[in-house]
Amino acid sequence: MEKSAKIYIAGHRGMVGSAIKRKLEKEGFENIVVRGSAELDLRSQQAVADFFEQEKPEYVFLAAAKVGGIVANNTYRADFLYENLQIQNNVIHSSYLNGVKKLMFLGSSCIYPKLAPQPLKEDYLLTGPLEDTNEPYAIAKIAGIKMCDAYRAQYGCNYISVMPTNLYGFNDNYHPQNSHVLPAMIRRFHEAKEQGLPSVTIWGSGTPKREFLFADDLAEACYYLMQNFNEPGLVNIGTGEDLSIKELAELVKQTIGFEGEILLDASKPDGTPRKLMDVSKLHATGWKHTIELPEGIKLAYEDFLSKQVITER
């Protein structure tokens, strides 16, 4: 990507999009185009067509999506399927019509079958049933990968797909009901510490294992792959390391300084038993993460505290 190139980041206000924007600015890119959802509804085919016609971006990072945790995914099943399909259909097709040089589509590790062998290799896609609670979201993301490949095959478009593992970091969502597991824990342990509570209850059995990648590391990987990767299919982006939800809770508890007990609510769903990414394909391209989980949780907690101060004011 030339430093003067016009780059559109779809979803620049989210955790992933904002991390990509910071990385590009740090690298000296100044011609970055962004629109908030109030200015551009990516679900609207006409609005997206008009935007691309007017702006003519040369490169696109498609990081916009309707996202949430287990409860949100399972509750708003129709919304997650419809809105994500609309967003990616509109952006990918308009990119083709307007001659975008390269597009990166960002998905999620939940695209893999629920009981796929671990660690998850890229070629395990579509080899078994999905986890039911996030099936609509996963189907939308799988459609996005296949759409990028189809436009590459039929029209010669240089569209690539990357699948990040569980993400956390600056600008995360700490909503009490709709957030992912790590930010939800940060909020819960923080509030329990503030209120002097004797315990914090975490959902499920505590045994599922999860992998976590700091969003700024993801942005580094996206920037690297945009420059160096040009193949159909997808690339996993992760650390290649995981830990149990109970171990994660202990780490968050320690970082925040909560001194009470951790309780488990086995009546709540566990989700997929394990979701460890095989990142050998990524490592073979020459990229590896740099921010380890204990350091990342500290950075995320500092960000959470800064947001709390703003809210309280």
| 151 given a catalytic annotation | no
* Candidate list 137, 159, 174, 223, residue with the active-site label: 137
- Residues 15, 172: contact at Cβ < 8 Å? yes
Q: Counting every residue, how long is the chain? A: 313
With H, G, I as helix, E, B as strand and everything else as coil, classify residue 47: helix
Q: Which two tokens stand for residue 67?
A: 């996202």
For 240, half-sphere exposure in the C-beta direction (CA atoms, 13 angstrom radius) is: 12
Task: Provide the sign of the torsion angle of the four alpha carbons 121, 124, 129, 130, taken in this order.
Answer: positive
Sequence ranges of the binding site for NADP(+): 11-17, 106-109, 141, 164-167, 180
d(CA 167, CA 181): 10
* 215-228 vs 15-26: helix crossing angle, rounded to 10: 60
Q: Which two tokens stand for residue 200?
A: 């914090």
Find the farthest-apart pair of alpha carbons in the chain and give their distance in angstroms, rounded. Answer: 61
Whether omega for the bond prior to residue 136 falls within 30 degrees of 0, making it cis, is no
d(CA 234, CA 109): 11
Sequence ranges of the binding site for substrate: 188, 203, 210, 270
Catalytic residue numbers? 137
